[in-house]
Structure 1
Amino acid sequence: MRKFNITLMLCIAVITACLGVFLFLAEPRGIAYWATSLLSLLAISITSVAYAIRLINTNIKSAKIQATISASYVITIIAAAITGSSVGSIPYIMQSMEVDFIAAFDYIWPTLLLGGAIASISYVLAHILISKKSINLVQS
């Protein structure tokens, strides 16, 4: 299951990065239209790479631990995608409402704070779980 998780995470990272590049190159209307999707895809890609790197450096083969890490990964990418799309919506808010950056940021800061906290906490808990199990494997 460990190899499956690593493969899945790296595939998701590559696919989202390719979609982001395609979106960047194909959208002629300007940053306000593609920033939301691009930053959401970027957040998913970075999160996937971070989880894959963390799993590559371990030797945990327990199905329960891998399932827990997969659940944590799903929670993290959902929260990261929401956070990324919120940040990406700032140019659209600025353009459509004709406000400056600070006024646009006032609309998204609760989502940014909550999504970032959920993603960070989920990743840190997975990291702690992996570290704890890795130490137990070394001691045995």
Structure 2
Amino acid sequence: MRTVNLVVMLAVTVISALLGAINLLLGDHPRHLPLMAALLSLILVSVAYALLLVNHAAKGLGGQVLVLLLYMVSIAAGFVTCGSLGLVPYTMESQGVGFLPALNRVWRTVLTFGVPAVGSYALAVFYLRRRSAALRRTSDQ
């Protein structure tokens, strides 16, 4: 299951990078910035989880399913969070407002979805480190 998780995470990374490259080549950048920011969040979250899985051993199907579910929560919440942050330049340009008024329009969304994105990653780190420490102690004895 660990291999499946890594393959899913790396596939999301590659697909997001390809979609971002296509969007960058085709786009009117202020209008495409929310999508670019959201795709960048998918790449960053996927790489972070993949590195976490590579560095920490977690045996068992339950733990890997938990990590996969936490990963899905992180990518969904991170996608919305970064997409909302990407709206700031578009809002500034389309409505002729400054940075702070444009940021004031999206801060609730950023907080609402940013906390679950970061929290689920922190929970995965805590779980995998605790699990790795438990595996190390039993193997030393």
| TM tier relative to shorter chain | over 0.9
CA distance in 2, matches of 1:118, 1:13: 20
Is 1:23–2:23 an aligned residue pair?
yes
- Unaligned stretches of 5+ residues in structure 2: none
CA distance in 1, matches of 2:50, 2:73: 15
Q: Which has the higher mean CA deviation after the structures are superposed, 66-75 or 17-26?
A: 17-26
In the other structure, the counterpart of 1:85 is 83
Q: CA deviation at 1:128?
A: 0.2
Between the aligned partners of 1:91 and 1:32, the Cα distance in structure 2 is 7
**1:21 aligns to what SS in structure 2?**
helix
| Alignment partner, residue 71 of structure 2 | 73
State percent identity of aligned pairs: 33
- Paired residues, what number? 138
Over the residues paired in the alignment, what is the CA RMSD in angstroms?
Answer: 0.9
Equivalent residue, structure 2, for 1:35: 33
Separation of aligned partners in 2, 1:66 and 1:120? 19
Equivalence for 1:9: 9
Task: Report the counterpart of residue 47 of structure 1 in structure 2.
Answer: 45
Deviation at 1:61, TM superposition (A): 2.3
Moved segments of 4+, more than 6 Å: none
Q: 1:139 — aligned with what?
A: 137
TM, length-normalised to structure 2: 0.94
Compute the TM-score of the two structures, normalised by the length of structure 1: 0.95
Aligned-partner Cα distance in 1 for 2:66–2:78: 18
Say which SS state the counterpart of residue 102 (structure 2) adopts.
Answer: helix
Gaps of 5+ in 1: none
Q: Using the TM superposition, name which of 17-26 and 72-81 deviates more.
A: 17-26
2:110 to 109, 112, 121: 112
Residue 114 (structure 1) shift:
2.0
Structure 2: distance between partners of 1:9 and 1:61: 18
1:80-105: per-residue Cα shift (whole Å, max 9, x none)?
00011001111111122111111100
CA distance in 1, matches of 2:102, 2:56: 42
- Once residues 134 and 109 of structure 1 are traced to their aligned partners in structure 2, the CA distance between those partners, rounded to angstroms, is 37
Equivalent of 2:59, from 36, 58, 61? 61
Instruction: State the alpha-carbon separation in 1 of the partners of residues 37 and 70 from structure 2.
Output: 21
* TM superposition shift of 1:59: 2.3
Specify the SS of the correspondent of 1:60: coil
